[in-house]
Amino acid sequence: MVLDDPKEILFLCALQNAVKHGGVPQAGAVIGMVMGAHPELRSRAKEVSALAKDAINAVATLSPEERIAMLRTRAPDMFDALSDRHEHKKVLPDLEKAENGVVMRFAPNPSGPLHIGHARAAALNDAYVKQYGGRYILRIEDTDPKRVDPDAYGMVAGDLKWLGLGITETVTQSDRLSLYYDLCRQLIEKGGAYVCTCNNERFRELKQAGTACPCRGQTVAKNLGLWQKMLDHTFREGEASVRIKTDLSNPDPAMRDFPAFRILDLPPHPKVKAHVYPLMNFSVVADDHLLGVTHVIRGKDHIANTRRQRYIYDHFGWKVPVYRHYGRMGIEGVVLSTSQMRLGINGGTYTGWDDIRLGTLRALARRGISPEAVKNAMLAIGIGDTDISFSWDNLYAENRKIVDPVANRYFFVSDPLRVRIEGAARHTAHAMLHPGDAARGTRTLEFEGTVLIPKSEISEGVAMLRLKDLFNVRVAWDNGTPSFTFSGDSLADARAARARIIQWLPAQDSVPCTLLSPEGEMTGACEPLVRKELNNVVQFERVGFARIDAANASGIRAYFTHK
Ligand code: GLU
């Protein structure tokens, strides 16, 4: 940016300093910054020093949010310089064998909508495909009909559209059963799998003891015959399964001859007519191989599966992808279990999958969290294998960066107190729609004598208030009852008296507004213009950001996003 006005340079340096350190900047520091960045002003040092105080005072009148917004709009490069140094933008670590491009996948089960936990795998894989170039496969893993919710196919697709991933192709495993059956036959022919007709209890005992079950030694021909009986439905549920031959001496019994296919008589699959289903380890390996997946990034909870899956790769002689397993992520404050959510929805505790007490992506969207913020928060968490707890504050910080420059500002008055102000003539207040972007214009609030103010701002002892963008009010107390009188326009007077600057609404021109958060609801009123912001995130000044969810004759419903 080329600047030649020392006043503007001083103001921006003071602003940058205040954003960086908070509080009121020191004159010396600001002058030093100016001289460092603009050596041409050194010959005008006296003039610059004389102007510094005004610049600092101007910055001091701004709220922290206003400072950020203004710096971002008026000097984006100074704003960026700040964030580069302070946010420690985390770059994902390199992946081995990725130089020539990658094929990666996101593989959710369609048992409900996606939640924050899913977003991590979705965002990390996405970022790597973008980093290295290649294909990003969405694989819908629906081979367990007990865990398929027919509505989830559409919900998952909608959630991913919202998240905005670079998916290049989509496959659904229930469309691919014949491929798995075929590979199963091949694996039996190779001697890598067998059909086991032991009852579960018996098999478990033998497995614990590291002993082969009688089926393990069957000939290939016998296994193929039994496999055919599974496919024919001659065998019913629980009577037979296909097992992968692993190592019976593996110290971990869970690795020993794990199942690859099972029979389920019920429930019917919503998409295909079938009763023989691959278990996850088989279908995942089959598809990772068939689809050419080069790198798999998934949670640590899959480490045991990775070990199991290696046996299948080895039997087939297939190339194993590169795996990275990230640590667990505890998420507090919201419900994440699909079954718990479903129960709550059916029982009427939650309004639906986007109830803001849930951890679904649609609940986040409803609260005004942007998909970019979700992805950025996940990339910041990264693929480290240490267990962490998810930080809502970090998500909110990411979201604030996105919504702050966009959100228009309005007044919301919680729990309003109707107050008559004596001695004030009619006044028109012009409040900026956005403090950092004058071009957006102003809202007009007409003062006609009576206003609504937040009850919480009035407590005995308060002597003066400033109604933001309007004027000052003197508060007198008589036996605990306040009365309010006009007390001039001067912002400087209000500052000198340390008067609180509060939001207000013209009593004759406001709309009832309910602000909901996971913790509960706040009733109040807001400016009528907010009606025009349906589905947008706005900032209710000094309250926080909120997404306008509904606007009808009875008023406005907004969801609190964050401070
Ligand atoms: N569908 C599996 C899950 O959601 C993912 C399997 C995998 O990533 O390998 O847990």
Task: State residue 437's pLDDT score.
Answer: 93
Task: Write the residue with the smallest CA distance to atom 6 of ligand 1.
Answer: 107
- Ligand 1 centroid distance, CA of 136 (Å): 15
pLDDT in tens, 260-280: 999 999 999 999 999 999 999
Name the residue of 105, 136, 141 to mutate for ligand 1: max ligand atoms within 8 A of Cβ: 141
Checking if the pLDDT of 409 tops 60, the result is yes
Give the full edge-to-edge strand order of the sheet including 505-506: 500-502, 464-467, 472-478, 481-486, 416-422, 450-454, 505-506
User: From residue 206, how far is each of 72, 249, 281, 538 by CA, in Å?
Assistant: 67, 12, 22, 64
- Ligand 1 centroid distance, CA of 337 (Å): 16
Residue 168: helix, strand or coil by DSSP?
coil
Report which ligand 1 atom has the smallest distance to the Cα of 298: 8
What are the contacts of 447-450 at 24+ separation with CB within 8 A?
447/421, 447/506, 448/506, 448/507, 448/508, 449/420, 449/421, 449/424, 450/418, 450/419, 450/420, 450/421, 450/506, 450/507, 450/508
Pocket of ligand 1 (CB under 6 A): 107-109, 141, 284, 298, 302
pLDDT in tens, 302-331: 999 999 999 999 999 999 999 999 999 999
User: With 0-12 CB in 10 A as exposed, 13-18 as middle and 19+ as buried, what is 487?
Assistant: buried
pLDDT in tens, 39-92: 788 888 888 888 998 999 889 888 777 888 888 888 878 877 776 544 444 579
Checking if the pLDDT of 162 tops 80, the result is yes
- Ligand 1 centroid distance, CA of 149 (Å): 16
Residue with tokens 């946010």: 87
CATH fold of 406-563 reads: Ribosomal Protein L25; Chain P (2.40.240)
Task: State residue 2's pLDDT score.
Answer: 55
Task: State residue 88's pLDDT score.
Answer: 44
Alpha carbon distance 138, 127 (integer Å):
14
pLDDT in tens, 507-539: 999 999 999 998 899 999 999 999 999 999 999
Average pLDDT over the chain reads: 94
Predicted confidence band of residue 554 (pLDDT cuts 50, 70, 90): very high
pLDDT in tens, 466-509: 999 999 999 999 999 999 999 999 999 999 999 999 999 999 99
Residue 344: helix, strand or coil by DSSP?
helix
Checking if the pLDDT of 4 tops 90, the result is no
Q: Helix 371-381 crosses helix 116-132 at what angle (to 10 degrees)?
A: 80
pLDDT in tens, 186-225: 999 999 999 999 999 999 999 999 999 999 999 999 999 9
* β-strand pairing of 511-517 with 520-526: antiparallel
- Ligand 1 centroid distance, CA of 313 (Å): 17
Task: State residue 18's pLDDT score.
Answer: 87
Extents of the domains making up the chain: 6-84, 406-563
Task: State residue 87's pLDDT score.
Answer: 43
Contact at 8 Å (CB) between 374 and 361? yes
- Ligand 1 centroid distance, CA of 172 (Å): 13
Checking if the pLDDT of 105 tops 90, the result is yes
> Which among 367, 405, 401 is positioned nearest to 89, based on CA atoms?
401
Task: Write the residue with the smallest CA distance to atom 3 of ligand 1.
Answer: 108
- Ligand 1 centroid distance, CA of 235 (Å): 29
Q: Give the tokens for residue 374.
A: 């979700």
Alpha carbon distance 111, 347 (integer Å):
18
Name the residue of 105, 284, 326, 338 to mutate for ligand 1: max ligand atoms within 8 A of Cβ: 284
Task: State residue 292's pLDDT score.
Answer: 98
Alpha carbon distance 217, 463 (integer Å):
91
